[in-house]
Amino acid sequence: MKVQIVSRKFIKPSIPTPENLRTYKLSCMDELNTTMNVVGILYYPSIDNNIVHINNLEKSLAQILPQFYPFAGRYNKVNHSVDCSDQGAEYVEAQVLDCDLNEIIGSGVEPVELNNLLPLEIGEADEITNPILSVQVTKFKCGGMAIGICISHRIIDACSFGTFISAWAKANLGDKTEPIRPKFNSQFYFPAENSVFGTTRSTKDTSTVTKRILFDRKAIETLRDRVSDNDCPPSRVVVVSSFLAEAFLRSDRAKHGKSRDCVIMQEVNIRERTVPPLSKYTCGNLVLLTTVECNAEESKSIDFESFIPLLSNNAKKAVSDCANILSNSKNGHTILVDYFLGAIEKINESGKNSLRFTDWSKFKFYDADFGFGKPIWTSVANIPIMNLVMLMNTKENDGIEAWVHLHEEDMTYFEQDEEIKKLTT
């Protein structure tokens, strides 16, 4: 896929950021993040009859930036803060010269090629010259279009990413119902500690490769039928996570010729689960990282049916723990920061295997109607973080697309797993 950049510009907020908001401080969880952008791509079919809405994208972006004021700023890694002086969000226009949109939808293209639809390298963040928000609007020969978005992971997570997309789409459509009011106050609950942990972790390893695996409604029903408790069937996310975790352990055994200690990590969104509940529109990194550990002997025999209750109960416990996060600062720090650092310490232990799941299926990307209809597909891209699985919703809202990111050598074994081959061939 050959993408040609047509123009680059910076979009400033339609209303200047007030002086009292010119410095946005990070939370302790923001500090811990890797240097990277949160990314996503929305795909729309022929848009020729919607030229007004297309031409309005820049204006509507300027209109919502006052609400998302840190997105028009620049990160100051010395002070662990965002300078919100309205430097502007980057807006890129591009065109694809050699293929139509239907040629890349779903499995039509290697995930790494989708990175061409993003305005920045995924690891291009944290420097004073890097925009916090960058958008690329790419038009195809067929009249279709892709909107690729990068937002610094230093200040937002996937839930915040979804909040921004929803707000921008509503503004462009002129939809004034159910206004989205983002809150940038996570540092009030979880003050920064001037940690340098996140700033030392880069995401520019080109040895990571990505595999997209589709679990449609039929595949998920088949997997659910393998679990005896039909009165309370496991969620789509738990079913897919359990299946992939088992396949991952099998492929790891095939590579190393033996079982190894393993850590399975799950991310849990804490919004609306704390007491009192944080708004679902609270922006920042508000994720609880929780773990399931298996020693080498356990990982030898653990299977899909065993993973179901393990991962399900682990997620339920994490949701329960959320109620205690705001009860006092010590509890919040222990549950969020100590859990996170503890998980990272475990996976860095020599000889230990790990896999991390993050669930993006509930962030309503398929509802993003900018005035030219809802997306026909949404995707991520080739994310340079090893042993990461991102779970996306399907357009029909009854399946899961799993984006599996592994080291290229590990991916070779993973793709040869018999159960994986059934889904991908």
What's the CA dihedral at 340, 346, 349, 352 to 10 degrees?
-130
**What is d(CA 196, CA 42) in angstroms, rounded to the nearest whole number?**
34
322 found inside a domain: yes
Do 217 and 157 fall within a single domain? no
How many distinct structural domains can be found in the chain?
2
Helix (H) or strand (E) holding 25: strand 23-25
The residue among 198, 224, 246 that closes a domain is 198
Tokens of 9: 């510009």
CA quadruple 12, 15, 16, 21: dihedral sign: negative
Q: Is residue 116 in a domain? A: yes
Residues 207 and 191 in one domain: no
**Residue 252 in contact with residue 260, Cβ under 8 Å?**
yes
Domain match, 248 and 167 both: no
How far apart, in Å, are the Cα atoms of 16 and each of 65, 68, 76, 131, 168? 9, 12, 20, 17, 18
**Exposed, middle or buried: residue 228 (CB in 10 Å: 0-12, 13-18, 19+)?**
exposed
Q: Are residues 192 and 226 in the same domain?
A: no
Answer yes or no: do 184 and 235 share one domain.
no
Is-contact 401 359, C-beta < 8 A?
A: no
Ranges of the chain whose pLDDT falls below 70:
47-50, 52, 196-205, 229-230, 329, 425
pLDDT computed for residue 53 by the predictor: 72
86 is catalytic: no
Alpha helices in 34-146 (DSSP H): 51-55, 57-64, 111-114
- Regarding whether 170 and 223 lie in a shared domain, the answer is no
Same domain, 32 and 144: yes
Clarify whether residues 411 and 298 are in a common domain.
yes
pTM as predicted: 0.95
Does residue 15 form part of some domain? yes
**What's the burial of 220, exposed, middle or buried (CB within 10 Å: 0-12/13-18/19+)?**
buried
The domain boundary residue, chosen from 164, 181, 198: 198
Of the candidates 153, 261, 405, 410, the residue annotated as catalytic is: 153
Same domain? 223 vs 147 = no
Q: From 172, 198, 224, give the residue that closes a domain.
A: 198
CA of 28: how far to CAs of 163, 185, 344, 380, in Å? 21, 12, 16, 26
Q: Residue 199's pLDDT is what? A: 53
pLDDT of residue 345: 86
Return the pLDDT at 193: 81
Residues spanned by the domain of 348: 199-361+383-424
Residues 9 and 121 in one domain: yes
Q: What is the pLDDT of residue 170?
A: 96
Cα 216 to the center of its chain, rounded Å: 20
94 in a structural domain:
yes
Tell me, what DSSP letter sits at residue 424?
H
Q: Is residue 342 in some structural domain?
A: yes
**What letters, b where the CB count within 10 A reaches 16 and e where it falls short, cover 389-404?**
bbbbbbeeeebbbbbb
pLDDT in tens, 199-226: 545 555 678 999 999 999 999 999 999 9
Same domain? For 295 and 401 the reply is: yes
Encode burial over 263-274: b for 16+ CB neighbours within 10 A, e otherwise. Answer: bbbbbbbbbebb
**Does residue 124 fall inside a structural domain?**
yes
Task: Catalytic residue, from 83, 175, 216, 369: name it.
Answer: 369
Tell me what pLDDT residue 351 has.
76
In 90-129, alpha helices (H): 111-114
376 lies in a domain?
Answer: no
HSE-CB for 350 with a 13 A CA cutoff: 0
CATH of the domain at 239: 3.30.559.10
Give a yes or no: residue 370 inside a domain. Answer: no
Q: Are residues 149 and 217 in the same domain?
A: no
Q: What local confidence, expressed as pLDDT, does residue 229 receive? A: 67
Residues 6+ apart with CB under 8 A from 69: 13, 17, 21, 24, 84, 86, 184
